[in-house]
Each structure stands twice: as C-alpha cells, then as structure tokens.
Structure 1
Amino acid sequence: MLRTRVPTISRSLLARRSFAYTPRIMAEGDTGAPRATGDAFTKREKAAEEMYIRQEEQAKLKALREKIKNAQKHMDELDSYIQETMKGQGGEQH
C-alpha cells in the first residue's frame, strides 16, 4: 500500500504547486552602488574614500622604499665583506 501511496502523494503536491513567478523588484538604492546622480553626501563620501585609499597607497609605498633602502644597505655590507675577504686571500694584486 505504501508503494502506491507515495507516487500519488508526490503527484498531488506537484499539481498543487503554483508556477507563477514574480520577479523581485529592487529599488535604486538596494544594489549597494552609489547613485549616478550623486547628491552632496555621496560626493563627499566618495572623496573621503578616495583620500583614504590614497593615504593607504602612500603608506605602502613608504614601507616599500624603506625595505629597498634596508636591502641596499645589506647589499653594500655584503659587498664590503667580499672585498675585505678577497684582499685577505691575496686574490687581487693592488
């Protein structure tokens, strides 16, 4: 009896299901993007965001310059060490 009831129940549920589809309508501000015709607040917010990004990029560039400076200093130290080692071995005739 269970075998005959399961297909019948599932068919009756499918028959009752509504196939009507209503698309979800979003308002202009619901997308998360700023409006094309920005008011003063939107313009001020955009300017503040751009200034923050610029400051972050400047900080990253400063850190990279410092890292390059330290690497150059280390390379100079290694070069002077190599020169001193070569002089001690008598590899160069000066």
Structure 2
Amino acid sequence: MTEPALRPAVIALGGGLREARNERGIGLRRLADMADIRPADLSSYELGQRAPQDTIVAHILGALRAPQQVREHLIDLARRSHDRDLIDRTGRA
C-alpha cells in the first residue's frame, strides 16, 4: 500500500503551528493540555501527517494567544488543506 502524497498546505500548516508554539516557548505536551487535545494529535498536526479542521487550528492558536495575522494565515491553510497544489502569496517563509 502506498502512502498518500503530502499536501503543501498541510506541511505549511504543521510548520506554522510548531513555529507559533516555539515562539511562545511552550512545550508540545503543555500546549496539548492547554488546548485539551491529545499530544499525539498535536504532534501529527505539527509534523504535517494529519490535517486538523480549521476550528481545531483556531482553538490551538487561541490557547497560544497567537497574533491575529498568524491566526488568519494558519486558519486559511487549514481550510485549504485538501488542495493538491498551494501557492502562498503571503510572503511568509
């Protein structure tokens, strides 16, 4: 059985979630506890292995008290997680 191809939006979203968490200096288990989700689920989101729903992303970012621009960008990526191709015109790396 072959693994499904990773979608660019899911990979970008995972990196963005990890970056937002690291910028706050919060460990993965602590954030999972703050957001009331399983650490394994949060880890799979950050690694780009699973695409969380936009409401879950909003909840995680709310727990992090992420800036509005970060929230908007990552929630948009979550909404576009099923796109096979992604062109990110925000200028964020």
TM-score by length of 1: 0.20
Which has the larger Rg?
1
Higher relative contact order (CA 8 A, sep 6+): 2
TM-score by length of 2: 0.21
Structure (1/2) with the larger helix percentage: 1
